[in-house]
Structure formats: C-alpha cells, structure tokens
C-alpha cells in the first residue's frame, strides 16, 4: 500500500475509528497472526491508536492464506498489476482454474483471465503499470508485442501519454509495417531500345516490359503536328 493511501486511511480512522474489526488467528501463546485487515492495523498504528477491535478465528494455514489473498484482491485501491499478481498466487497455491478463481473473488471469468494475462508483461512494463504510468488498456494492447520491443513501446506510450486507442494503432503498425515500394530496374536491352526510338522519332519514349515477355511502348507528343511527324517517321 502506498504511503499516501495509508495516510488517508489513518486520517479516516482518527475521525471515525475502526468500523470493521480485523481478523486474526492464534499461532502461539499470546501471539496472533493477522489474516484480514493488515492495512487497517498499519493505518491505526500511524494514527497513534494502540488498540483496535479484532475477531479471533481458528483457521488452518491454507485457509488463512486464501482469506488473506482474497481480501487483498478485493481491495478498492489495488492497481491492475497488484491484482494480477495476487490472482496468480491464489490460482497457483490452490490449483484453481480461472473460473474457480472468478467465483472465489466475485469477478467474471473474462475479467480474471484478462488480469492474469498481465503477468506475461516484461518486468519494466509491469512497473509502468504498477506506478500508474500506463493503464490496463495500454498493457493489454502491448501484450501483442514481445521482447525488448514491448518495453520500448511501453516507455514511448508513457512518455507521450498516448490513449489506449493510439496505443492499439501503434502496436498494429509495429506488427504490420507498411511494405516498402518495389523498385524495378529496367533491363539494359530495354533501355537501349528506348534510346534508339527516342533518337529515331525525336520524342520521349518509354517501354514497360514484364518478366513474362509482355509489355507496352508509350510515345509522348505535345500536339497533333508533333504526332504527325512521329507517324511519318514510323511509316
């Protein structure tokens, strides 16, 4: 949790107190472990409150981990990257499917799947998402790019403050760059024939000759008198 968010919660606790007790379990004599509400506990300390209400539950290790993870995922201030990491841990530790994770945390399967995909981002891109330099929409678009290029594009998106739609276009242009225009060089024999016709007819002549042996000759003239002169030379 960011220091700013923790301070905001501490301010709320100073004014209103702890509305919802934290949940703990006993792990040894006079020793308890928080399984839900660590943020409230930390904020209370920051607010100078030494005693807060709690509920003691008998919870096995696996259930305690699950409760802590689920509470963490359901936090309102959690960013997309933090949520993706927590969902991944929940899925792996308890061998759950995407649908089972969705049922546990109260989200749609599509939402869970989209969040879990964020774990495939490069580490620098994950940090940009975590720090709020890019949004989840940007990150989802960037998943189509692999390797160092993904990081470079993410930094460009953050630096230029591109919209999600602009990012999608950038990714599409990267994946489908425009093909360079094909340049064709004329055969030396064709060039020689062109020059001979130019000299004989006294007009600009161009020959388009295909690799299949077909082609066309284009003779340029400025007026009908020039055309008559060209035709007389041909005859």
Q: Which residues are catalytic?
A: 38
CA distance 23 to 181: 67
Cβ contact 121:96 at 8 Å: no
CA distance 95 to 114: 18
How do beta strands 22-28 and 205-209 pair?
unpaired
Give residue 150's region: left, alpha or beta (phi > 0; psi -120 to 50): alpha
Give the HSE-up count for residue 12: Cα atoms under 13 Å, Cβ half-sphere: 14
Question: Nearest CA to 26 among 66, 2, 67, 54?
Answer: 54
Q: How many CB atoms lie within 10 A of CB 208?
A: 12
């Amino acid at each position: 949790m960011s220091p700013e968010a923790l301070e905001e919660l501490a301010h709320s606790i100073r004014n209103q107190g702890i509305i919802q007790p934290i949940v703990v379990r006993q792990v040894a004599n006079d020793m308890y472990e928080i399984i839900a509400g660590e943020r409230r506990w930390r904020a209370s300390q920051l607010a100078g409150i030494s005693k807060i209400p709690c509920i003691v539950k008998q919870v096995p290790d696996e259930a305690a981990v699950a409760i802590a993870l689920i509470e963490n995922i359901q936090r309102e201030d959690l960013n997309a990257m933090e949520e993706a990491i927590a969902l991944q841990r929940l899925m792996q530790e308890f061998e759950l499917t995407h649908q089972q994770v969705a049922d546990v945390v109260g989200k749609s399967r599509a939402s869970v799947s989209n969040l879990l995909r964020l774990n495939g981002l490069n580490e620098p891109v994950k940090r940009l998402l975590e720090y709020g330099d890019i949004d989840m929409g940007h990150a989802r678009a960037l998943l189509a790019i692999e390797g160092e290029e993904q990081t470079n594009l993410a930094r460009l998106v953050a630096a230029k403050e591109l919209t999600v739609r602009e990012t999608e276009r950038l990714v599409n242009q990267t994946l489908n760059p425009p093909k360079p225009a094909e340049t064709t060089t004329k055969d030396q024999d064709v060039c020689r024939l062109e020059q001979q016709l130019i000299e004989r007819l006294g007009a600009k002549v161009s020959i388009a000759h295909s690799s299949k042996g077909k082609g066309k000759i284009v003779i340029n003239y400025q007026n009908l008198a020039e055309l008559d002169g060209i035709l007389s030379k041909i005859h």
